[in-house]
Amino acid sequence: MKIITRDVPPRAVWALEQGGVHPLLARLFAARGITSKDELDDALARLLPPSQMLGAQEAARALADAMTTRQRICIVADYDCDGATACAVAVRGLRLLGAPMGFDSVEYLVPDRVADGYGLTPSIARRVKERGADWLVTVDNGIASVAGVRAARELGLNVLVTDHHLPAVQDGEVVLPQDCIIVNPNQPGCTFESKSIAGVGVMFYVLLALRAELRERGVYNMAEVSTGSVRTEPRLDALLPLVALGTVADVVRLDANNRRLVAQGLKRVRAGALPPGMAALFQVAGRRPEVATSFDFGFALGPRLNAAGRLADMTLGIECLITDDAGRADELARALDGINRERKAIEGDMREQALMLAEDMFDESEDPPPAMVVFDPDFHEGVVGIVASRLKDKLHRPTFVFAASAADGKEHELKGSGRSIPGFHLRDALDLVAKRHPGVLLRFGGHAMAAGCTIEEEHLDTFESALQQVAHEWLDAATLQRRFEADGPLDTQYRRADLVDTLHKEVWGQGFAPPVFCEEVQIVSQRLVGEKHLALKLKHQGEPVDGIWFGHTEPLPARVKLAFRLDADEWQGQRRVRFLVEAAEI
C-alpha cells in the first residue's frame, strides 16, 4: 500500500480563503479542483437548465399532452436505489404536476431481477400494455432496450426512455431505440454538461421541463370557475431528498451539478422536509435526519433499498418512498431493514467463500493474477456485485463474481457482476472479450468501474482466460500497486469536534472524495474489539488520540503512516475527536 498525498494548488487555496472559505475547507476543496468560491454556490438557480438536456422538452410536450387528455402512464423502474428513487420521483412528480388538472393516472411496474433481467424487455412491454397504459416511461433503464422499445411500439404504446447509462455499440456504431423519445445526457448530440447525472436526476429534469411546459400553456394561471381561485404552480423541491438519495447511492461522480442536487436534498432532509418513507428509513438505520450526511445516503438508506432489489421485490422500496402514510412507511422500512440483515448474512458467507476461491488461484509468495473471476454454484445472483466489490477492494484487481441464473429454463447460464480499479475500463474490456471470442458473452453492459454480463457455464474458463489476457495487456505494475489518495497532515488546531461537524455537513462522494488525512503516528496500544476491529491509542503530533480501524485485525508497528478520517464520539458527556483509519503504509 502506497499512500499518496493530493496536490493542493496554492492559488486556488488563496482564492478560496479570500472568498471567506475556512482555511481547512479551502485546502480540501482546492485539492478536488475547486478554484473559486463561486463554484461552491449550491443554489437551485445555479443548476444546469433543462433546456440543455436533449429530448427533455420533447418529453415535456408529450407528457403535457398525455396529462391533458387523461392518458394512462406506466413507469418501468429498475431494481436498485437509483431506479427506486427515480420511480418515486416520477410517480410523485407527475401526480403533483397533474394535480391542478385532476390528473393522477400514474402507476409503475418493477422488473423482476431473476425472471425479467435488466431493462425494458418485450415481456415487460406486454405487461404494461395489459395494464391498459397509453404511455410507457422508463427510469434508469431503456437506452439499450432496442427490442423492448420495438415491442412496446408494436403494441401501440408510446415510449419515453429516461436513462443515464451508455447506449449500446455495435460494429463501432451507437445503437439507439427507435420511434421513441429519449432523454439521456449520454446519447449522441446531447450538450448537457453533467454526463454523470444519475437516473433519478434525469427524471427530475424531465419534470422541470414538464412544469415549464405546463406553465407556458397557462395551466397554473387558469381560474377555477367554481371557487374563483387560481391554480398554484406546484413546487418540485419536495422531490430533492429523493434525488439526493438516488444520486449518492448510485455512486455517480459528484460533479458541480450533482453536488448541488445533493446539497439541496440534504438541506431539506435536515430541516425535516422529507417523505415519510425516508424518515422511517433513517429511524430503522439508527440515523438522525437533522444531522444527515451524504454518508447516510450511501451507507445507511441506500443499502436497505438495494437489498429489496437483490433478494426480494423493489416494489417494497418504491412503496416506502411514495407513501404519505407514516404508519405504512414505518412498516415498509422495517421490512426493508429485515431484508438488508438477510442480505448481510448472505453476503458475509459468500464473501468468505469467494475470498477462499480467489486465494486458491495464487500462492502466498505470488501476486494475484491481473484479473479475478470467481464462481460457486451456491452463490446468490442478487449479491454478486457486492461480493465483487469486496474482493476488488481486498486484492486490488478487476474482479468478476458469477452465480448460476435462478430464472426458469436458464440454469445453464451464469450471471456475473464485475468491479474494477482505476486504469481498467471494465465495459470496454468486456467489449474486447466479446470481439475476440464471439458467442461467449450472451449479454453485457455497464461502465468503467462496474459492469455485468451473462455467459454459458461451459464458457466460464474461456471468459476467465480472455479477461486476464486483456488485463495483462492493459495493466502495468504501477497500476496494479494499491494506492490510497489522502490530504496530507492534519494540523492539531483542526482536531476539534466542531470542525468534524463542519466537514460532515459538506457534500462528499464519488469524484469528490471525503477528507482523509495522512501522517506518521505513534501506536501507544492496540487491541481487537468485536473480534474484527482494531482499537487504537495513538499519539498524533505528541498528543493522545483514540482511533479505530474497522474490519482490520492485523497489528500495526509502533510508528506507522496512517490515512484516517475524522469522527467524533461522546464519552461522559464530552465529544472527542477520534481517527477512523482507512489505510496504513507499512
pLDDT given at position 1: 86
Kindly report each contact of residues 154-160 with a partner whose C-beta sits within 8 Å and lies 24 or more positions away, as own/partner.
155/125, 155/126, 155/129, 156/129, 157/125, 157/128, 157/129, 157/133, 158/62, 158/66, 158/71, 158/134, 159/135, 160/59, 160/62, 160/63, 160/135, 160/136, 160/206
403 phi/psi in degrees, rounded to 5: -135, 155
Span 160-167, average pLDDT: 94
Q: What is the pLDDT of residue 227?
A: 52
How far apart (Å, rounded) are the C-alpha atoms in residues 197 and 446?
15
Predicted confidence at residue 230, as pLDDT, reads 58
The predicted structure's pLDDT at residue 447: 81
Q: Tell me, what's the pLDDT at 220?
A: 85
pLDDT at 4: 94
Span 94-112, mean pLDDT? 91
Mean pLDDT value of segment 104-110: 94
> Residue 99 — very low, low, confident or very high, per pLDDT cuts 50/70/90?
confident
Mean per-residue pLDDT, 286-298 = 97
Per-residue pLDDT, 222 = 65
Higher pLDDT residue, 256 or 223?
256
Residue 331 has pLDDT above 80, yes or no: yes
Per residue in 171-182, pLDDT (tens digit) is 889 999 999 999
**Residue 279 scores a pLDDT above 80:** yes
- pLDDT recorded at residue 223: 57
Domains of the chain: 45-233 (3.90.1640.30), 361-480 (3.10.310.30), 483-585 (2.40.50.460)
- The pLDDT value given to residue 101: 85
Query: Are 492 and 541 within 8 A, CB to CB?
Result: yes
- pLDDT value at 249 more than 70: yes
pLDDT band at 224 (very low <50, low <70, confident <90, very high): low
Please say whether the beta carbons of 375 and 401 come within 8 A.
yes
- Residue 169 in grid coordinates: 455499440
